[in-house]
Chain A
Amino acid sequence: MKTFKLGGVHPEENKISAGEAIEVLPLPAKVCIPVSQSLGAPSKVVVEKGAIVKTGQVIAKGESFISSNVHSSVSGKVTKIDEVIDTSGYKRQAVYIDVEGDEWEEGIDRSPEIIHDIVPDRDAIIRKINEMGVVGLGGATFPSHVKLMVPDGKKAEYLLINGVECEPYLTSDHRLMLERGEEMVIGVKILMKALGVSKAFIGIEKNKQDAIVHLSVICSKHPGIEVVPLKVKYPQGGEKQLIKAVVNREVPSGKLPIEVGCVVNNVGTALAVYEAVQKNKPLIDRVVTVTGKSVAKPSNLLVRIGAPVSALVDFAGGLPEDAGKVISGGPMMGKALTSLDVPVVKGTSGILIMQGAESKRAAALNCIRCGRCITACPMGLEPVLLAQLSENQLFERAEKDRIMDCIECGSCHYTCPAGRPLLDYLRLGKNKTGILIRNRGKK
């Protein structure tokens, strides 16, 4: 069985909602759509207060290279353009819309018919993906069209599709692969055409055997696309770990996957690409897992972007009485929310509600120098040392010891028997070291 070799941990999988088919969340009464939903520059709002918008209409335009369009996910009236605290905890500009009916923009093909023939050429595909606001749905929300524009001097050899879903609890990608596999594979072919590659791999963790079988059957009709079962190990779905596991290449420190001829996209992104290119449908909804040990009805929901998290939680049976923490994303890398009034964005893969008892951190003890964090680190770093250097503000030494290679997977903190908040210090250190590096560039 293929896997990455260096480090890694085995958190409890807890895929409670794996058997729940995707359900459509009823339209909320109001939505709030943040206009910067991707990495890179914020997009510019192009609607005004009081405007009537249709579902799928552009409400904010990405104007620089690394930025992305944002579309209205509902039809209705723009009530205000104001700030909102989004799932990341930062204030962002957002368009608030009162929902009236569900009237879609013209030209969007909403029929269930699957379109197999890929007509547009490479440039047209990339333009379409850009126009339709498709971003990486694995969590990092990198604008997808940018990934497809291979820099001069580099060549893409392989497309890797990330169906690993190594985060415990989350099952949205799993359900997508089972229920929308056919369309997703066409999305993969579109991406292959845009990149000019003849080989694609879909990496899936072994705990999703049904998805492996289902996609293998579909892919047998498409030469060049291969399903690769992977060992259940966190963070198997980390971009660099996935490349190492599937094609056994190591992305050099500080470089992008294209350096070793690879481009990685999430399964959800592949489906969004299919919908954008074949059905002319902008990215206005996504599948979100709502789960937790005390959640009455763990679900996988197809949700319009901008719907409040509270609507998802209500659909899943309401906030359990013993709820202690609500997380946007999975338990390893997700962000704890301060309230349920935040909107779902393109990068929201799950809402995890943890019980009160399991949501508290244990008090940190002295480091006992056991080295478990070093063994667990999938990047071969020394979290214990980097945390100390950060704590003592020795950022130049932290840079030498490669703090910027940290992928913030959380394996170090997860495995620490003394319960030290290693990743907290590493994040701080990365931030400060990054400032140091940027200032150096200015001189």
Chain B
Amino acid sequence: MNLLTVSGSPHVHTQQSVKSIMYGVVIALIPAIFVSLYFFGLDAARVIFISVAACLFFEWVIQKYLIKGPVTINDGSALVTGVLLAFNVPSNLPWWILVIGALVSIGIGKMSFGGLGKNPFNPALVGRVFLLISFPVQMTSWPLPKGLFGSGLTDAITGPTTLGVLKEGLDAGKTVQEIMASPDFPGYINDLLGAQGGSLGEISAIALLLGAVYMLSRKIITWHIPTAYIGSAVIFSGILWLVDPTHYIDPALHLLAGGMILGVFYMATDMVSSPMTPRGQIVFGIGAGLLTIMIRVWGAYPEGVSFAILIMNAFTPLINNAFKPKRFGEVVKNG
């Protein structure tokens, strides 16, 4: 007879694994990948390919030759980082800038802390913000969508993003209504569908929401962070808009424009760098929502999602300590 296995209970295990979660996120990103291919053509494919390949390569090199430990590039986490980094840059970004971004994401954002699970910040956002600060010109010239096979690299026509137009116009002293009436302005429907200038993955809210529904239904993410994030952003921007609609845009535009949907569902919900308790996640979401609107309205950059999430990532350990779960039996009865 074979020897029996002996171990502590439980003896059964859920089907969900780190790998299935990571690949679940990749599946959720597929609709948005298709939309980016549709609007930016082969440029989008180029950016996604370089970013993913570079992320996988750097993870492999670091694990094999620097750490000399097990190589885990097939766990899907570097793949997710690669796609998200690609989604956060314009489609005409030179390849070497992308490679630098991947090195910063994986090397500094993730492996320097000990790899998956140990990183305090979302790796893709670390790379993105590093590039934004280091290469501001290349990172903010947005090619306009031209269709699947219609683009060359050098003759791309660039145009501003919704938030960029608004920031510039408001700084020049125009009112929101004047800016929105100008022909440059993409408008709500284009924001929703994706026919506008912007980062690869920021452009179509509908495709991103489709993936978000998938992640929620597969229980890869929970509702806490997205709801709190969107809720606080809508309420805060709504108050500003009600006070002065000529200087502050309405909450719907805040939601649809820029990287809000991408950030809320795909990066703020990154489990490694967000709080672990539902209570903490709600606090995290509220904080990120407020910071996003503050940076958009009063900051130097038109877009604030990346900074807001990174700042809240830094608060995550404190939030974990301060917001404990509701304990069973902690209710102290009076009288």
Q: Considering the chains assembled together, what is the distance between the CA atoms of A103 and B79 in angstroms?
A: 72
Pairwise interchain contact B5-A382, C-beta atoms closer than 8 A: no
Q: For residues 412 through 434 of chain A, which have their beta carbon under 8 Å from a beta carbon of chain B?
A: 413-415, 417-419, 421, 423-424, 427
Query: With A336-B7, A361-B7, A384-B276 known to touch, is A417 a contact of B17 (CB < 8 Å)?
Result: yes
Query: With A414-B13, A419-B13, A423-B8 known to touch, is A368 a contact of B326 (CB < 8 Å)?
Result: no
Partner of B276 from the list A352, A362, A369, A423 (CB cut-off 8 Å) is A369
Pairwise interchain contact B5-A336, C-beta atoms closer than 8 A: yes
Q: For residues 1 through 28 of chain B, which have their beta carbon under 8 Å from a beta carbon of chain A?
A: 1-2, 4-14, 16-18, 20-21
Chain B residues within 8 Å of A78, by CB: none
Pairwise interchain contact A336-B10, C-beta atoms closer than 8 A: no
Which of B32-40, B110-118, B289-297 forms contacts with chain A? Answer: B110-118
Give A389 Cβ to nearest chain B Cβ, in Å: 13
| Residue B324 is within 8 A (CB to CB) of chain A in the complex | yes
Q: Which residue of A lies closest to B324 (CB)?
A: A382
Q: Considering the chains assembled together, what is the distance between the CA atoms of A67 and B199 in angstroms?
A: 71
Partner of A250 from the list B115, B117, B118, B329 (CB cut-off 8 Å) is B329
| Residue B30 is within 8 A (CB to CB) of chain A in the complex | no
Q: Considering the chains assembled together, what is the distance between the CA atoms of A168 and B328 in angstroms?
A: 24
Q: How many A-B residue pairs have CB under 8 A?
A: 164
| Residue B327 is within 8 A (CB to CB) of chain A in the complex | yes
Q: Considering the chains assembled together, what is the distance between the CA atoms of A365 and B20 in angstroms?
A: 13
Query: With A362-B13, A371-B277 known to touch, is A324 a contact of B4 (CB < 8 Å)?
Result: yes
Pairwise interchain contact A378-B328, C-beta atoms closer than 8 A: yes
Q: Considering the chains assembled together, what is the distance between the CA atoms of A252 and B14 in angstroms?
A: 30
| Residue A282 is within 8 A (CB to CB) of chain B in the complex | no
Q: How many residues of A contact B (CB 8 A)?
A: 69
Q: Which residue of B lies closest to A411 (CB)?
A: B10
Query: With A11-B12, A368-B18, A369-B272 known to touch, is A381 a contact of B5 (CB < 8 Å)?
Result: no
Pairwise interchain contact A253-B330, C-beta atoms closer than 8 A: yes
Pairwise interchain contact B117-A335, C-beta atoms closer than 8 A: no
Q: For residues 279 through 335 of chain B, which have their beta carbon under 8 Å from a beta carbon of chain A?
A: 281, 324-333
Q: Considering the chains assembled together, what is the distance between the CA atoms of A352 and B5 in angstroms?
A: 13
Which of A104-112, A185-193, A325-333 forms contacts with chain B? Answer: A325-333
Q: How many residues of B contact A (CB 8 A)?
A: 43
Q: Considering the chains assembled together, what is the distance between the CA atoms of A367 and B17 in angstroms?
A: 11
Pairwise interchain contact A253-B329, C-beta atoms closer than 8 A: yes
| Residue B263 is within 8 A (CB to CB) of chain A in the complex | no
Pairwise interchain contact A414-B330, C-beta atoms closer than 8 A: no
Q: For residues 84 through 125 of chain B, which have their beta carbon under 8 Å from a beta carbon of chain A?
A: 114-118
| Residue A35 is within 8 A (CB to CB) of chain B in the complex | no
Query: With A336-B7, A370-B276, A371-B276 known to touch, is A415 a contact of B12 (CB < 8 Å)?
Result: no
Give A337 Cβ to nearest chain B Cβ, in Å: 7
Chain B residues within 8 Å of A168, by CB: 12
Q: Is the interface of A mostly helix, strand, loop or mixed?
A: loop
| Residue B275 is within 8 A (CB to CB) of chain A in the complex | yes
Give B190 Cβ to nearest chain A Cβ, in Å: 36
| Residue B159 is within 8 A (CB to CB) of chain A in the complex | no
Pairwise interchain contact A366-B118, C-beta atoms closer than 8 A: yes
Pairwise interchain contact B116-A358, C-beta atoms closer than 8 A: no
Q: For residues 260 through 282 of chain B, which have their beta carbon under 8 Å from a beta carbon of chain A?
A: 271-273, 275-278, 281
| Residue A319 is within 8 A (CB to CB) of chain B in the complex | yes
Q: Which residue of B lies closest to A337 (CB)?
A: B4
Pairwise interchain contact A417-B331, C-beta atoms closer than 8 A: no
Pairwise interchain contact A368-B116, C-beta atoms closer than 8 A: yes
Chain B residues within 8 Å of A93, by CB: none
Give A123 Cβ to nearest chain B Cβ, in Å: 31
Interface code A1-36, partner B: CB below 8 Å = 1, 0 otherwise? 000001001011000000000000000000000000
| Residue A146 is within 8 A (CB to CB) of chain B in the complex | no
Give B26 Cβ to nearest chain A Cβ, in Å: 15
Give A415 Cβ to nearest chain B Cβ, in Å: 5
Pairwise interchain contact A9-B14, C-beta atoms closer than 8 A: yes
Residue positions of A touching B, CB distance < 8 A: 6, 9, 11-12, 168, 240, 244, 250-253, 255, 319, 323-327, 329, 331-339, 352, 354, 356, 358-362, 365-372, 374-375, 377-382, 384, 401-402, 405, 408, 410-411, 413-415, 417-419, 421, 423-424, 427
10 residue pairs, one from A and one from B, having the closest CB atoms:
A371-B276, A410-B10, A366-B117, A370-B271, A380-B327, A336-B6, A253-B329, A331-B12, A331-B11, A379-B328
